[in-house]
Chain A
Amino acid sequence: MKMSLQFWNLKWGNKGFIFTLDMIIAMTFTIIILILANYYVRSTENPLTKLQMEKTGSDIAALLDNLGILDTLSDEEIEEDLEDILPVNYDIKLSIITKKGITLNIGSALPDDKYVISGKRVFVVTQNNIIADEAFVQYWIWLK
């Protein structure tokens, strides 16, 4: 015991050092908290990206409906038009189900590792100016 007290060889003993050690521990904790807080403040996501993605998905579904592309109920035709309309940095999957039982799945497979936004739009299938069916299109959109 006596050996360890004399280890630091301070002429005023080790009391002052213990007090400073407390301070160093407190300071270390404070700095860790500041660094963690800084990390969390810095990593706040930009809300614009998600909002823009949500609006793009909704707009694309509305556009396909308004241009009468969905009325064709042809997966090839819808996919072809979708390629022209969809912005290059986005990928999309569409699932169309009509009341009469027609089901279409168009676009890429859903990714496991990306943030995906989904939405649904109800529409009326009009062919030759006659309401032929009722349907909904569900879309999933994500950044490539």
Chain B
Amino acid sequence: MPKSQAAVADLFIAFFLFIIVLSATIYTWNIYITRIDEERENNEITMKAFQAAEALVKSQGIPENWSLSSVNLTGLAENERILSFKKVDLFVNLTEEQIKNIFKIQLYNFSFVLKDIEGNKIKEIGSITGEKSVNVKRYVVYENEPAILEFKMGK
């Protein structure tokens, strides 16, 4: 009789500890999954923002002399990291939906701001809403002066 009691008490203790460990493991697992998901999403936003900014400052666009009605890729450069006044002007006259479609960022919000080196805004389009956002800054030449191109993306 005492032997069977010991076995049952032992089972209860072991089962209790097992439940604690199992709960801790499930809780931690869920945290990891959430964090990995967040990190994947952050990396995706970061990569897309950098790719878009890179295309804007280094590419002339496709076609090279793109216009509001015919544009496949909006590059703003007349030379690498030297922005064309005309293309910047065209770019801010595109609709936000057009820009999102061009960069395949339909799921995200974006904002484009061109500032002089002292931080005064020269041109801008778009706005950011939501909790997550990534801000990419590129240093360029605009009208023979140093300027900062900021491309923000968020969700």
A residues contacting B by CB (< 8 A) are: 10-13, 15-16, 19-20, 23-24, 27, 30-31, 34, 37-38, 41-42, 44, 46-48, 51-52, 55-56, 59-60, 62-63, 66-67, 84-85, 87
Contacts and interface: CB of A to CB of B under 8 A. Distances in A.
Contact of A60 (B25, B31, B43, B139): B139
A27 B42 CA distance: 34
Interface residues of B, number: 41
A63 B57 CA distance: 12
B140 A63 contact: yes
Given A51-B50, A66-B82, A85-B146, A23 B13 contact: yes
Interface residues of chain B: helix, strand, loop or mixed (majority) = helix
B32 interface: yes
Contacts of B136: 52, 55
Given A11-B2, A27-B21, A20 B10 contact: yes
Contacts of A13: 6
B139 A44 contact: no
24 contacts: A12-B5, A15-B6, A23-B13, A24-B17, A30-B21, A30-B24, A34-B25, A37-B28, A37-B32, A41-B32, A42-B35, A47-B43, A47-B46, A48-B46, A48-B134, A51-B50, A52-B136, A55-B138, A63-B81, A63-B140, A66-B79, A66-B141, A67-B141, A67-B144
A27 B139 contact: no
Nearest to B43: A47
B81 A66 contact: yes
Contact of B24 (A16, A20, A23, A34): A34
Contacts, number: 88
Interface residues of chain A: helix, strand, loop or mixed (majority) = helix
**Top-9 shortest CB links A-B:** A12-B6, A16-B10, A59-B139, A16-B6, A62-B81, A66-B141, A12-B2, A23-B17, A20-B13
Contacts of A85: 117, 139, 146
Interface in B63-121: 79-82, 117
Nearest to B32: A41
B123 to A, nearest CB: 18
Contacts of B24: 30-31, 34
A83 to B, nearest CB: 11
Contacts of B57: 59
Given A20-B10, A84-B117, A56 B139 contact: yes
